[in-house]
A and B are shown apart, each in its own frame.
Chain A
């Protein structure tokens, strides 16, 4: 019994080592979204192309889509943009939320780098961003045809991430609509 007690510090050490080792690989940059399984927030915002044209949540409904939050001041968005172009070319429905940006720069960006978005929503004050729980662009939300948020990606969507996290989910949502 006494002998076993001597092993106690070793046991405690091993326990701590296991937790700390696990901690090394914890990805605490990516917070779980509070919005998963909940409806995409209501909004009423102008389009990037035309200040007269208003978009609301209704405009996003009807088919599964990615909603990509981006800005011209966001360096990673530039890396992400060609990937979005490619996905749009393959027929993936992507809506853009231009987040706290300058309208002219945003228009120039879409003109020069190609526009992969079906709708271009201009969230200049970040109101929609706040309702979405955006804390850093780029962020991408996967919504289903009824406008429920099903998945969220924080950071750049590259091809690896698309195949690993999004492609199957998007396909499943498509199948939900037309079995």
Chain B
């Protein structure tokens, strides 16, 4: 019963997610896949935190139609994205191209990750150094006896 309800709920959600793009008739499954892929990758210029597949804004609809038209004309994904970038700028790409302006964006995560690993390694090495130092500072026989006396 529970599984059934969950299934119904999920299929409802799927219906909502696809609502904007059900009217196209694709020549092939591969073309359909590419349409979804491009729809997810292109950003709606008006509603800035949605891609054009998700958005109901008129401009997103226009861009979807345009993507469909270009696909039908046999353009490849790269050409379609370039076409959009030429008109709307780098902004329309959710996966921005690597250039001088976006270098920091692409490289920062790696820099942070390796920085963190570096700090971790440094700390571990230092801690081991401390442990060795502690070993060397062991008490002498006389000090040991003194300590026992104090502890009693």
Contact = CB atoms under 8 A, between A and B. Distances in A.
Interface stretch (A25-33, A77-85, A88-96): A25-33
A87 B74 CA distance: 45
B87 A132 contact: yes
Contact of B48 (A28, A34, A126, A131): A28
Interface string A34-72: 110000000000000000000000000000000000000
Interface in B41-61: 45-46, 48, 58-59
A132 B88 CA distance: 8
B46 A136 contact: yes
Interface string A121-134: 00000100111111
B26 interface: no
A135 B46 contact: yes
Question: For the side of the interface on B, what is the size category?
Answer: 10 to 19
B85 interface: yes
Contacts of B59: 134-136
A34 B87 contact: yes
> Which secondary structure dominates chain B's binding surface?
helix
A120 B90 CA distance: 31
Contacts of A134: 59
B66 A130 contact: yes
A100 interface: yes
Contact of A131 (B87, B89, B90, B91): B87
A27 to B, nearest CB: 12
A32 B89 contact: yes
Contact of A31 (B63, B86, B89): B89
B79 interface: no
Given A132-B87, A133-B87, A31 B62 contact: no
Nearest to B60: A135
In this complex, the member of A129, A132, A134 whose beta carbon has the largest number of chain B beta carbons within 10 angstroms is: A134
A35 B87 contact: yes
Contacts of A126: 62
Interface string B17-33: 00000000000000000
Contact of B86 (A34, A100, A135): A34
B88 A34 contact: yes
Contacts of B88: 31, 34, 133, 135
A117 B129 CA distance: 80
A130 B62 contact: yes
Interface of B: 45-46, 48, 58-59, 62-63, 66, 85-91
Closest 6 CB pairs of A and B: A135-B45, A34-B89, A133-B87, A135-B46, A133-B88, A135-B59
